[in-house]
C-alpha cells in the first residue's frame, strides 16, 4: 500500500473543476479582490474532462477510492455531467460526491444523478437571509439554496450533507436554527470552524467559534452524544441526537486538527497536485501529460509525491496557537486559495 512519510494512505481525491464562482463569500472570494477585473484561468490552461479522468484513473490505481468534485463552484463548469459520466466508469471508485453552493442544482441535479454522481454536500451558512447574504457577497437568498437542496433530494443525490462555516458575530447566532432545520429534514449538518486558508480573507483566531463551543450550544437545546467515525480519515467529529432524529457534526480543523489521518490529495483546475490545503506549492500533472508522458510515468510521479508527503500544517498551527507563538504564517503570499482548490 502506498503511504506517505507519516504512514497515511492515499484514499481521497478532490478535483477542483473551475476557479470561477457565482458567489463572493467574504471568507473565500471577497468581492473587493474578485471583482469585474479579476482574471480567472483561461480555458486552454484548464484540464479537459479526459485529462481529469485519466489523472483520476491513475490515482485510483494508487489507492484512491473516493472522488469529490469541487471548485470554485463546480456547477459553473459546462457539461459537468459528462465528466461525472467518465469518472463513474473508473473501476474501484466507491463514492463520487460534489460540494456545491446549490444555486444551479434545480437545473442540473437530475442530469448529474443520471451520469453517476452519488451525493452532494451543499454549503449553506445560515437560514437567516441577511446573515447569509452578508456571507455570500449578496449573490443569493436562502430560498434559492433551499430550492437546490430540494432538487438534489428529488434527484436522489443522498444523503444530503450541509456545510456551514461559522464566523463569530456573523452567523453564530443562527447555529441552533440550522441544527433544527437539518434535523427535521434528515440532512446531515457539518459545522466548519472558520479556517485560515488562503491569504485574502483577513482571518484572525478571534473570528473562530471553536467546535467545542458550537457543540455545547447545540447540545444545550438538543441532547447529543458522540459517535465513532464512519471510516479512517473522516474529518468530522460526529454526534447523534439522543432522541434518534439523526446526526450532526463539526469539522474542527483549527482547534482539533486531524492531519494524522489526512488521506486527501487535491487536483487544481489547471492540473496541479497539492498534498495539503495549506500548501504553497503544487506539482503539475498537466505539463507532463501534455508533453506525452505515459500512464506509468504519471503514476510514478504521483506515487513519488505521495511517498514524500509530510504535510501537517494544521497540527503545527494548532501547537503554535496553544503555546501563544505568534509566527503562524497567516497571509503567506504563496499559499493556495480556497476558491481555487476547493476545501
Ligand atoms: N463553491 C462550492 C461550495 O461553496 O460549496 C465548493 C467550493 S467551496 C471553496 C468548499 C467549501 O469550503 C465550502 O463549504 C465553503 O464554505 C468552505 N470554505 C471556504 N472558505 C473557507 C474558510 N476560510 N474556512 C472554512 N471553510 C471554508
Ligand atoms: Fe464560491 Fe464556494 Fe467560495 Fe462561496 S465558498 S465563494 S460558493 S467557491
Ligand atoms: Fe490535511 Fe493539510 Fe488539512 Fe492537515 S492541514 S488535515 S495535512 S489538508
Q: Is 235 in the pocket of ligand 3 (CB under 6 A)?
A: no
Q: In what order do the strands lie in the sheet with 237-241?
A: 224-227, 237-241, 247-251, 188-193, 161-166, 119-123, 95-100, 66-70, 12-16, 264-267, 272-274, 283-284
List Cα–Cα distances, 104 to 41, 75, 100, 109, in angstroms: 21, 6, 9, 8
Q: Which pLDDT band holds residue 329 (cuts at 50, 70, 90)?
A: very low
Q: Over the stretch 141-197, which tens digit does the pLDDT of each residue have?
A: 999 999 999 999 999 999 999 999 999 999 999 999 999 999 999 999 999 999 877
pLDDT at 321: 59
Residue 269 pLDDT: 97
| Closest residue CA from atom 19 of ligand 1 | 28
User: 198 falls in which pLDDT band (50, 70, 90)?
Assistant: low
Residue 240 has pLDDT above 50, yes or no: yes
Q: Which atom of ligand 1 is nearest the CA belonging to 100? A: 5
Instruction: Express each pLDDT in 281-326 by its tens digit.
Output: 999 999 999 999 999 999 999 999 999 999 998 888 776 655 444 4
Alpha carbons 131 and 256: distance in angstroms, whole number: 26
What are the Cα distances from residue 126, in Å, to 4, 147, 211, 323? 38, 15, 17, 33
What span, in angstroms and rounded, lies between the C-alpha atoms of 109 and 84? 12
C-alpha cell at 18: 473551475
CA of 77 to the centre of ligand 1 (A): 17
Q: What is the pLDDT, as a whole number, of residue 51?
A: 98
C-alpha–C-alpha distance, residues 123 and 149, integer Å: 10
Homologous superfamily in CATH for domain 12-160+175-185+258-341: Aldolase class I (3.20.20.70)
Sorting pLDDT into bands at 50, 70 and 90, what band is 204? confident
Indicate if the pLDDT at residue 123 is higher than 60: yes
Task: Look at residue 339 in the predicted model and tell me its pLDDT.
Answer: 63
Asked if 99 and 343 count as a contact pair (C-beta separation under 8 A), the reply is yes
Q: CA-CA distance, 69 to 80, in Å (whole number)?
A: 10
Mind spelling out the 3-state secondary structure of 155-177? HCCCCCEEEEEEECCCCHHHHHH
pLDDT of 328 higher than 50: no
Q: pLDDT at position 327, please?
A: 44
Ligand 3 centroid to 157 CA: how many Å?
27
pLDDT of 335 higher than 70: no
- Residue 261: DSSP 8-state: G
Q: Is the CB of 277 under 6 A from ligand 3?
A: yes
- Among residues 297, 251, 304, which one has the least CA distance to residue 273? 304
Give, in order, the Cα–Cα distances in Å from 301 to each of 7, 16, 285.
19, 20, 8
Query: Is residue 52 classed exposed, middle or buried when 0-12, 13-18 and 19+ CB atoms within 10 A define those classes?
Result: buried
Q: What is the pLDDT of residue 326?
A: 44
The predicted model gives 185-212 an average pLDDT of 88
Query: What per-residue confidence (pLDDT) applies to 225?
Result: 97
CA angle 213–341–127, rounded 5-degree value: 40
| More confident: 206 or 119 | 119
How many whole angstroms from 259 Cα to the centroid of ligand 3? Answer: 5
* Residue at grid coordinates 456551514: 164
Question: Parallel, antiparallel, or unpaired: how do β-strands 119-123 and 224-227 relate?
Answer: unpaired
Domain boundaries, the chain: 12-160+175-185+258-341
Per-residue pLDDT, 278: 87
C-beta of residue 135 within 8 angstroms of C-beta of residue 170: yes
Q: What confidence tens digit (pLDDT) does each residue in 47-72 have? A: 999 999 999 999 999 999 999 999 99
What does the pLDDT look like over 250-281, one tens digit per residue?
999 888 889 999 999 999 999 999 999 988 89
Pocket test for ligand 2, best of 136, 139, 198 (most atoms within 8 A of CB): 136
| Residue among 243, 100, 83 at smallest CA distance from 161 | 100
Q: Quick one: pLDDT at residue 343?
A: 59
The answer to whether 47 and 58 are in contact (CB under 8 A) is no
State which ligand 2 atom lies nearest to the alpha carbon of 165: 5
* CA-proximal residue: ligand 1, atom 9 (nearest): 342
Amino acid at each position: 500500500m502506498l503511504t506517505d512519510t507519516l504512514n497515511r494512505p492515499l484514499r481521497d481525491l478532490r478535483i477542483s473543476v473551475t476557479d470561477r464562482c457565482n458567489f463572493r463569500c467574504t471568507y473565500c472570494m471577497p468581492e473587493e479582490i474578485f471583482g469585474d477585473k479579476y482574471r480567472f484561468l483561461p480555458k486552454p490552461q484548464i484540464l479537459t474532462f479526459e485529462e481529469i479522468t485519466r489523472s483520476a484513473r491513475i490515482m485510483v490505481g494508487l489507492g484512491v477510492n473516493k472522488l469529490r468534485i469541487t471548485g470554485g463552484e463546480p456547477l459553473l463548469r459546462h457539461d459537468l455531467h459528462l465528466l461525472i459520466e467518465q469518472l463513474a466508469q473508473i473501476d474501484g471508485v466507491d463514492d463520487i460526491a460534489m460540494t456545491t453552493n446549490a444555486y444551479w442544482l434545480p437545473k442540473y441535479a437530475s442530469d448529474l444523478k443520471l451520469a453517476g454522481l452519488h451525493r452532494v454536500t451543499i454549503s449553506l451558512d445560515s437560514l437567516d437571509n441577511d446573515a447569509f447574504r452578508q456571507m455570500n457577497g449578496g449573490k443569493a437568498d436562502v430560498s434559492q439554496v433551499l430550492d437546490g437542496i430540494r432538487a438534489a433530494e428529488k434527484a436522489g443525490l443522498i444523503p444530503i450533507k450541509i456545510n456551514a462555516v461559522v464566523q463569530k458575530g456573523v452567523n453564530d447566532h443562527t447555529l441552533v436554527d440550522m441544527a433544527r432545520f437539518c434535523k427535521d429534514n434528515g440532512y446531515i449538518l457539518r459545522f466548519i470552524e472558520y479556517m485560515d486558508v488562503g491569504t485574502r480573507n483577513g482571518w484572525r483566531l478571534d473570528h473562530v467559534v471553536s467546535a467545542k463551543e458550537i457543540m455545547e450550544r447545540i447540545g444545550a437545546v438538543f441532547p447529543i452524544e458522540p459517535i465513532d467515525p464512519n471510516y479512517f480519515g473522516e474529518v468530522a467529529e460526529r454526534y447523534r441526537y439522543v432522541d434518534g432524529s439523526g446526526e450532526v457534526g463539526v469539522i474542527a480543523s483549527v482547534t482539533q486538527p486531524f492531519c494524522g489521518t489526512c488521506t486527501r490529495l487535491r487536483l487544481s483546475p489547471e492540473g496541479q497536485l497539492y498534498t495539503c490545503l495549506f500548501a504553497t506549492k503544487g506539482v503539475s500533472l498537466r505539463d507532463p501529460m501534455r508533453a506525452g508522458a505515459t500512464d506509468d510515468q504519471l503514476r510514478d510521479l504521483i506515487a513519488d509525491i505521495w511517498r514524500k508527503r509530510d504535510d501537517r500544517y494544521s497540527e503545527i498551527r494548532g501547537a503554535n496557537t496553544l503555546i501563544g507563538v505568534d509566527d503562524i504564517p497567516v497571509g503567506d503570499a504563496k499559499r493556495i486559495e480556497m476558491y481555487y482548490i476547493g476545501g
